[in-house]
Amino acid sequence: MSTETNVLEDLDFPTPGYAIGDDVADLLFRQARTVGAFTDEPVTDEQLAAVYDLIKWGPTAINTVPLRLLVVRSAEARERLAKHVNDGNRDRVLAAPVTLIVASDPGFHQHIPTLAPHMSALADALEDQLEQREQMARMNTLIQLGYLIVGLRAAGLDAGPMAGLDTAGVDAEFFAENGWRSQLIVNVGHREGEGTRHPRAARLGYDQVSLTV
Ligand SMILES: Cc1cc2nc3c(=O)[nH]c(=O)nc-3n(C[C@H](O)[C@H](O)[C@H](O)COP(=O)(O)O)c2cc1C
């Protein structure tokens, strides 16, 4: 066993208040940017599967896990998607190594007996409640989107989420068969340089966004 007295100083102790080290806090949040410019380095299906295997553990209401992903990779699929993307976003969709269509599945209730066995009766109760299922699926998919962005960063990837698209057009283009509802898209890859031309903008502070009662 070492008798050096400075061994502990070499360890990367978490910043006070966090259970993770500064390097992880930087990777996931402080240094991470919304990226629009990517290198040619590919993103593999294995990488995307590994990201999902991590983020699937993030909580959703009644453990519904309604996020679904369509991985847009081929040039032909990319063109089909680009038609439905706002002008200002189109070039980035065409240039990114891969784009994920993040969709919600209003048919999530079919999995309730597996995902929430203690509430399996809910599967039948929701069968005729399409509007309620769509709302539940959308809210929990957007929660899972947050996990996805952080999970991509945890895997050493960069993400560029974009809501500027015609979701009805995307649904007709890609989801006429399975009924998924597109929510937004995320370009994924490795940042080129800073990955963005925009300087980092400020964030609101805790005292601006919180009240205590
Ligand atoms: C849900 C969501 C939707 C967004 N939609 C667009 C978009 O349609 N087009 C775009 O250029 N940027 C879009 N952004 C990027 C944001 O403007 C960006 O994340 C924000 O300004 C923070 O940038 P930073 O991470 O580099 O600090 C979107 C981001 C999120 C999280």
The DSSP-derived string for 71-84 is EE-SHHHHHHHHTT
CA-based nearest residue to 187, from 88, 69, 80, 96:
96
Q: Is the pTM of this model over 0.85?
A: yes
Distance (Å, whole) CA 135 – CA 122 = 15
Domain 33-193 has CATH 3.40.50.620: no
Look at ligand 1, atom 5, and give the residue with the nearest C-alpha. 162
Least confident of 15-19, 137-141, 190-194, 196-200: 15-19
For the CA of 35, the nearest atom of ligand 1: 26
The best mutation among 34, 145, 187, 188 to test binding of ligand 1, ranked by most ligand atoms within 8 Å of the C-beta, falls on 34
Q: How many residues does the chain have?
A: 213
Q: How far is the CA of 36 from the centre of ligand 1 (A)?
A: 10
pLDDT tens for 111-131 read 999 999 999 999 999 999 999
Longest distance between any two alpha carbons in the chain, whole Å: 69
Mean pLDDT of 157-165: 98
Distance (Å, whole) CA 162 – CA 83 = 14
Task: Give me the pLDDT at residue 13, please.
Answer: 61
pLDDT tens for 72-95 read 999 999 999 999 999 999 999 999
Task: Kindly tell me the sign of the dihedral angle through the C-alpha atoms of 48, 50, 55, 61.
Answer: positive
